[in-house]
């Protein structure tokens, strides 16, 4: 957080000028705070730009401009042999690999972050580079402190009141997962909206919408039952705009771990 020092108000005639500045200062701090919050979860665009130069100079020779010249490795798509987290990548780059076929690089922290940011941005200098933490730590958080498993089902375990995440790593990007955790309102898919329905027989049903067509709506109710309702038989049907969960209380390092875990969920062992 930058530190601002306004000059001392020693002259009455300037007071009005300074008072007029106050709202501007608030606006500035507000915007900056938001940037800061996101900044902790992802690499800056300066970092990505720096990484672009380093990559092309130091890595492209062996890995190629597109990052896919070495078998079973696609640096742009995040396909590695053993590395998963950003820390793993740091170690690979600092230590080298395959008995020196990949040399060890003597980068400082800024350069190291730059290269990783460039990889995580998918080689897009204007892209977004989400930090990826430790997947095994992420799993512990998912099932524990993060309370994710109190709503979400993974590989046949857990409730059905929220979307099943068994293959979420295959269908969503890291950036999308991050948004869902830190700003669920912005990430909410229209179809997943919470609904509140009163039927003509005066039953109230609260649940999560799964599907809808002109005549019917399908949802999972609060008792986890799959319901299909005929719209003509409903007294009221309200779709909520607010997400059914709050932004996560996990800190940015923990969010990076949870994202790493979610990215490992690619459907194997998944169950309906
Ligand atoms: C002289 C050739 C060479 C250069 C230069 C090089 N690499 Fe590699 N890199 C390799 C080889 C070969 C492998 C495969 C190692 C193996 O067999 O496991 C590899 C593997 C990797 C892996 C996958 C490691 C794993 O176990 O998952 C990453 C990530 C990687 N390199 C990143 C980089 C980055 C970033 C740079 C530039 C800073 C770079 N490499 C420069 C040759 C190179
Ligand atoms: C109170 C219940 C609840 C908790 C706790 C919860 N979620 Fe969710 N989550 C939902 C619901 C409901 C949706 C679907 C509606 C929406 O997107 O807001 C959802 C959506 C998601 C999605 C998007 C699914 C898609 O198809 O894109 C992801 C990813 C996700 N949650 C991950 C998590 C993780 C990780 C945690 C723990 C840090 C967590 N959720 C905690 C209820 C919850």
92 shares a domain with 61: yes
Distance from chain centroid for Cα 69? 29
Mean pLDDT score across all residues of the chain: 85
102 ligand 1 Cβ < 6 A? yes
State residue 223's pLDDT score: 85
Which residue CA neighbors atom 36 of ligand 2 most closely? 148
Phi, psi of 126 (to 5 degrees): -105, 15
Ligand 1 site, residue 29, Cβ cutoff 6 A: no
Residue 12 confidence (pLDDT): 45
The domain spanning residue 86 has which CATH number?
1.10.760.10
Residues with CB under 6 A from ligand 2: 142, 146-148, 150-152, 162-163, 165, 168, 172, 177, 180-181, 184, 187-189, 192, 208, 243-245, 248, 258, 262
Residues 149, 250, single domain; the answer is yes
pLDDT above 90: residue 76:
yes
Q: What's the pTM value of the predicted model, to 2 decimals? A: 0.79
Ligand 1 within 6 A of CB of 107: no
In a domain, residue 14? The reply is no
Q: Take atom 42 of ligand 1 and give the residue whose Cα is closest.
A: 102
CA of 57 to the centre of ligand 1 (A): 14
- pLDDT computed for residue 190 by the predictor: 77
Average pLDDT, stretch 76-105?
94
pLDDT-based confidence at residue 160 (cuts at 50, 70, 90)? confident
Q: Are residues 141 and 68 in the same domain?
A: no
Count structural domains, the chain. 3
Same domain, 70 and 95: yes
**Residue 269 confidence class, pLDDT cut points 50, 70, 90:** low
Query: Kind of pairing, strands 234-239 and 204-212?
Result: unpaired
**What's the Cα-to-Cα distance from 184 to each of 21, 193, 259, 272, rounded to whole Å?**
34, 11, 14, 25
Indicate if 165 and 255 belong to the same structural domain: yes
Q: How far is the CA of 40 from the centre of ligand 1 (A)?
A: 27
Residues 59 and 105 in one domain: yes
Question: 139 with 256, same domain?
Answer: yes
Both 55 and 82 in a single domain? Answer: yes
pLDDT of residue 39: 58
16 falls within a domain = no
Give domain status of residue 50, yes or no.
Answer: yes
- pLDDT at site 34: 43
- Tens-place pLDDT, residues 167-217: 999 998 898 899 999 988 888 777 878 899 999 999 999 888 989 999 999
Quick one: 61 and 115 in the same domain? yes
Q: Is residue 86 part of a domain?
A: yes
Examine the fold and report which residue of 91, 120, 149 is the final residue of a domain before the chain moves on: 120
Range of the domain at 177: 135-187+246-263
Q: Whose CA is nearest to atom 34 of ligand 1?
A: 59
Q: Does residue 106 share a domain with residue 213?
A: no
């Amino acid at each position: 957080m930058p530190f601002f020092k306004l000059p001392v108000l020693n002259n009455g005639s300037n007071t009005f000028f300074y008072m007029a500045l106050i709202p501007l200062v608030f606006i500035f701090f507000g915007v900056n705070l938001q940037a800061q919050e996101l900044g902790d979860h992802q690499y800056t665009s300066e970092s990505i730009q720096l990484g672009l130069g380093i990559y092309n100079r130091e890595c492209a020779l062996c890995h190629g401009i597109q990052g896919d010249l070495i078998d079973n490795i696609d640096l742009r798509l995040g396909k590695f042999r053993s590395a998963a987290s950003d820390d793993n990548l740091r170690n690979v780059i600092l230590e080298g690999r395959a008995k020196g076929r990949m040399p060890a690089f003597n980068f400082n922290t800024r350069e190291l972050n730059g290269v990783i940011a460039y990889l995580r941005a998918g080689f897009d200098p204007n892209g977004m580079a989400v930090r990826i933490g430790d997947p095994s730590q992420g799993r512990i958080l998912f099932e524990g402190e993060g309370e994710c498993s109190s709503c979400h089902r993974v590989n046949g375990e857990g409730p059905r009141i929220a979307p099943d995440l068994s293959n979420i790593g295959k269908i969503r990007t890291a950036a999308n997962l991050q948004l869902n955790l830190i700003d669920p309102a912005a990430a909410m898919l229209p179809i997943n909206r919470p609904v509140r329905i009163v039927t003509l027989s005066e039953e109230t049903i609260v649940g999560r919408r799964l599907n809808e067509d002109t005549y019917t709506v399908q949802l999972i109710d609060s008792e986890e039952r799959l319901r299909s309702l005929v719209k003509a038989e409903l007294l009221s049907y309200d779709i909520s705009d607010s997400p059914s969960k709050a932004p996560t209380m996990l800190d940015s390092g923990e969010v990076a771990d949870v994202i790493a875990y979610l990215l490992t969920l690619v459907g194997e062992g998944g169950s309906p």
